């Protein structure tokens, strides 16, 4: 099963705030720099990569020197607006070091519901990839709030990354988090938890194993990651969840090494539909 990852050409990488920021609220430049180098190297090898990056609010808080995340939605949207451009500035600089240009793609959930919007998004991704740029995706926080008649919010970037993988028909989604993989219970609370190397389907029993989120900046915990995995499995796509503290892990994954948790359908299940 792992061997098949060597053939993956189109790859979505999702990076969580806990990978991009230190617990103290500062930006983890070393990890971001390494991430940019690894993705640039994958492009050099001929792979196609799309980055889904969280971090706008965290980076915005740093930029505005706020010690804690404000509570109201307009405040969070304003901070995200500041943080998003700051984050793109950092990515642009670091990818630029390795000869790559980045393109910002901000999405709202309604793109999945309206066929013309959906096609426009797909066209943009295709063109960015053809141009050799690195698309960097986030939710459009200015527009996306919970509404009843017009659903604009993905809610979390885990789900967004699986939707992006679906839109661009990626072979693989690599989800970088602050944990080595999916365990039979939350390892932060139970140190004797054991990690799954492979999961072939998401059942109610799987969902019961997901505990709370890991860090102050963490977003959805394991539940949103399992929801993303479920969408990938439905689309016969693969997902690997692993720790993003050393982005070199991406090389190991696409060399077929057994790192993190691989979510993939069994071959026979794909054949039986």
Which residues contact ligand ADP (rule: CB under 6 A)?
Answer: 16-18, 177-179, 182-183, 185-188, 209-215, 218-222
Residue 87: CB minimum distance to ligand ADP, A: 15
User: CB 148 → ligand ADP: shortest distance, Å?
Assistant: 26
Closest distance to ligand ADP from the beta carbon of 57 (Å): 12
CB of 198 to ligand ADP, least distance (A): 14
Nearest Cα to Cα of residue 176 among 11, 26, 40, 42: 11
Rg (CA), the chain: 18
User: In terms of CB distance, is 38 or 175 closer to ligand ADP?
Assistant: 175
Residue 224, annotated ligand binder? yes
Nearer of residues 210 and 233 to ligand ADP, judged by Cβ: 210
- Name the 3-class secondary structure at 115: helix
Nearer to ligand ADP, 61 or 128 (CB): 61
Q: Is 219 annotated as a binding residue?
A: yes
Give, as one character, the DSSP assignment of residue 266: -
- Per DSSP (E only), the strands in the chain are 10-15, 48-53, 102-107, 134-139, 172-177, 198-199, 238-243, 261-263
The region that residue 253 occupies, defined by phi over 0 for left and psi between -120 and 50 for alpha, beta otherwise, is alpha
Q: Which residues line the annotated binding site for ATP? A: 14, 177-178, 219-225
Q: Which residues line the annotated binding site for substrate? A: 54, 141, 157
């Amino acid at each position: 099963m792992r061997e098949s990852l060597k053939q993956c050409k189109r790859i979505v990488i999702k990076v969580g705030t806990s990978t991009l920021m230190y617990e103290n609220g500062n930006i983890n430049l070393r990890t971001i720099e390494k991430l940019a180098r690894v993705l640039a190297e994958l492009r050099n090898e001929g792979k196609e990569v799309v980055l889904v990056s969280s971090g706008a609010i965290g980076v915005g808080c740093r930029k505005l020197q706020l010690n804690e995340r404000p509570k109201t939605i307009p405040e969070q949207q304003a901070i995200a607006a500041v943080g998003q451009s700051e984050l793109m500035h950092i990515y642009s600089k670091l990818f630029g070091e390795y000869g790559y240009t980045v393109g910002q793609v901000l999405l709202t959930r309604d793109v999945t519901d309206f066929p013309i919007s959906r096609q426009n998004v797909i066209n943009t991704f295709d063109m960015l990839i053809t141009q050799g740029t690195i698309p960097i995706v986030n939710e459009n926080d200015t527009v996306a709030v919970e509404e009843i008649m017009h659903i604009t919010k993905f809610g979390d970037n885990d789900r967004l990354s699986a939707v992006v993988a679906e839109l661009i028909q990626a072979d693989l989604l690599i989800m970088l988090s602050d944990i080595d993989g999916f365990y039979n219970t939350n390892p932060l609370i139970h140190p004797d938890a054991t990690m799954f190397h492979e999961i072939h389907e998401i059942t109610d029993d799987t969902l019961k194993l997901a505990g709370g989120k890991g860090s102050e900046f963490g977003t959805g915990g394991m539940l949103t990651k399992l929801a993303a995995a479920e969408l990938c499995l439905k689309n016969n796509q693969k997902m690997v969840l692993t720790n993003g503290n050393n982005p070199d892990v991406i090389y190991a994954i696409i060399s077929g090494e057994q790192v993190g948790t691989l979510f993939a359908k069994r071959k026979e299940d794909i054949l039986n539909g």
